[in-house]
């Protein structure tokens, strides 16, 4: 039986690439350089499956250009707002993602950012590396306590729940959250959290705000100037979800004007571009999209894609189909 032709847009863990090469007629991007729109359009026209990552943008225009060979897009990641799902569906192309396997590691990065911003770890490390630290003193680099404070979560899915558990049971934090749908109070309590009715209520109550909702659509610019104004001046914003959830210009202004105290970011609206204003701020911790960056998780994500496209080409329903 002829093997399906697949294109993998970036380098994946070697163990996953080996399985793909065995099961499929696979072509790999050995240079590991980002593919431009023309290259992605060509891939959709020539391959049975395209396996993109969050750094690959697949807008509607890519799906309207002539005949397409692609029958499935096996996305390497849980978020898929970089793919125009409606346009793909209109051309009969299935789309899958990789939920579940990156929950704990992404929550760990959110916790890393929260602690780093609260305790000014980024600033402190830069000072030590620059050789300008003059020694311990009572007023040096004072941060804010984490234990016992209030965490506000926006989006109470798998990762939001994992973050709630870390903060409530690990740091004795009061956890409140907003979620688009109602969560059973007993289920919320199991994770040490309680639901509030609006985003604004959560922002007003929280010492730390952690974003865990999907990007794109109605969530684009969810945290804008108005909602940043609703936060406490002492509050810190953490984003490990999607960059487009936050209005980055509004965030930079709020930080510069002292309307909020700091931010920890792992994702950005136009990755890998990070606004210069944010890069220049000492009260912002910036990571290069490391949420799922552990060996165990990246392999598990890749194997999720393998399972999805294997099922599809065997005539079975892909377990993680989103369109």
**125 among known catalytic residues:** no
- Residues 176, 195: Cα–Cα separation, whole Å: 6
Question: What pLDDT is stored for residue 66 in this prediction?
Answer: 86
Active site residue 123: no
Give, as one character, the DSSP assignment of residue 259: S
Question: Which element (helix H / strand E) includes 311?
Answer: helix 295-313
Output the pLDDT for position 208: 99
Residue 40 bridge partners (DSSP): none
- Which CATH superfamily, name and number, covers 103-286? NAD(P)-binding Rossmann-like Domain (3.40.50.720)
Q: Is the dihedral of CA 96, 101, 102, 107 positive or negative?
A: positive
- Quick one: pLDDT at residue 41? 96
Is-catalytic flag, 242?
Answer: yes
Note the CATH number of domain 5-100+295-313. Answer: 3.40.50.720
Can you give the pTM of this predicted structure? 0.95
| Active-site hit among 120, 212, 227, 289 | 289
Give me the catalytic one of 158, 191, 227, 242: 242
Residues 6+ apart with CB under 8 A from 50: 6, 7, 9, 40, 43, 44, 70, 73, 74
| Beta-carbon-side half-sphere exposure of residue 260 (alpha carbons within 13 Å) | 32
User: Is there a shared CATH topology between the 5-100+295-313 domain and the 103-286 domain?
Assistant: yes
For residue 147, the 8-state DSSP code is T
Predicted local distance difference test score (pLDDT) of residue 90: 96
Q: What are phi and psi of 289, to 5 degrees?
A: 50, 65
Domain edges within the chain: 5-100+295-313, 103-286
Q: Over the chain (323 residues), what is each successive 10-residue block's mean pLDDT?
A: 95 98 98 97 97 96 92 96 96 97 98 98 98 98 98 98 98 98 98 98 98 95 98 98 98 98 97 97 98 98 98 98 96
Kindly list the distances between the CA atom of residue 131 and the CA atoms of 122, 126, 128, 135, in Å, as whole numbers in the listed order. 15, 9, 5, 11
**Tokens 């898929």, residue?**
80
CA 7, distance to chain mean position in Å, is: 23
Per the CB < 8 A criterion, the answer to whether 262 and 284 are in contact is yes
């Amino acid at each position: 039986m002829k093997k399906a032709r697949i294109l993998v847009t970036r380098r994946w863990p070697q163990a996953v690439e080996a399985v793909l090469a065995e099961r499929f007629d696979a072509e790999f991007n050995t240079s590991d350089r980002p593919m431009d729109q023309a290259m992605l359009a060509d891939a959709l026209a020539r391959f049975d499956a395209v396996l993109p990552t969050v750094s690959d943008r697949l807008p509607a225009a890519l799906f309207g250009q002539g005949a397409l060979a692609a029958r499935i897009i096996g996305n390497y990641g849980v978020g898929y707002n970089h793919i125009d799902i409606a346009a793909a569906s209109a051309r009969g192309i299935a789309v899958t993602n990789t939920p579940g396997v990156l929950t704990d590691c992404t929550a760990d990065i959110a916790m890393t950012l929260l602690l780093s911003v609260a305790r000014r770890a980024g600033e402190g490390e830069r000072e030590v590396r620059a050789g300008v630290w003059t020694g311990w003193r009572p007023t040096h680099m004072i941060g804010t306590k984490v234990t016992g404070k209030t965490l506000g979560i926006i989006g109470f899915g798998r990762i939001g729940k994992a973050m709630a558990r870390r903060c409530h049971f690990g740091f004795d934090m009061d956890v409140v959250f907003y979620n688009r749908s109602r969560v059973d109070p007993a289920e919320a309590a199991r994770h040490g959290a309680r639901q509030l009715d609006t985003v604004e209520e959560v922002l007003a109550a929280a010492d730390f705000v952690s974003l865990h909702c999907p990007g794109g659509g109605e969530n684009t610019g969810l945290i804008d100037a108005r909602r940043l104004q609703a936060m406490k001046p002492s509050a810190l914003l953490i984003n490990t979800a999607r960059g487009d959830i936050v209005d980055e210009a509004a965030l930079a202004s709020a930080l510069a004007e002292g309307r909020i105290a700091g931010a920890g970011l792992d994702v950005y609206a136009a990755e890998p571009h990070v606004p210069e204003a944010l890069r220049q701020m000492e009260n912002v911790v910036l990571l290069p999209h490391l949420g799922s960056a552990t060996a165990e998780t990246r392999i598990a994500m890749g194997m999720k894609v393998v399972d999805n496209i294997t099922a599809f080409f065997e005539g079975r329903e892909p377990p993680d189909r989103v369109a």
